[in-house]
Amino acid sequence: MKQLRAQQLAEWLADENRPSPVLLDVREPWELELCQLAGSQHIPMHLVPTRCDEIDSGQEVVVICHHGGRSMQVAMFLERKGFGAVYNLMGGVEAWAGEVDPNMRRY
């Protein structure tokens, strides 16, 4: 599992020559209602073990949560399940709001 900073993810998403990753948001539904990254796939952390077949293992996956702790655990889990390119968004949506999108709602 690799660590990815919010600014690095923003640059990746803006790069038209690089395929976009799966943005896997593992926060709870109430958190997703507050803010989210556009185009993210939502599977709450506790459901990932039973729903990981819904994640495209052939693509690079960036796992996202509020501060980066839950996403790191899920990223490690996905690696153990055989996913090849998994990244943890360091600092989560909080870092995204602070470094990339100041208009994103914070909580």
Per-residue pLDDT of the chain (107 residues; tens, 9 = 90+): 999 999 999 999 999 999 999 999 999 999 999 999 999 999 999 999 999 999 999 999 999 999 999 999 999 999 999 999 999 999 999 999 999 999 999 99
8 in a structural domain: yes
pLDDT of residue 79: 96
Please identify which of the residues 65, 78, 93, 97 carries the catalytic annotation: 65
pTM of the model: 0.97
65 is catalytic: yes
Eight-class DSSP state of 53: G
104 in a structural domain: no
The CATH number of the domain holding residue 79 is 3.40.250.10
Please name which of 31, 49, 72 lies closest in space to residue 40, comparing C-alpha atoms: 31
- Count of the separate structural domains present in the chain: 1
pLDDT of residue 97: 98
Which domain covers residue 60, as residue numbers? 2-99
105 in a structural domain: no
107 in a structural domain: no
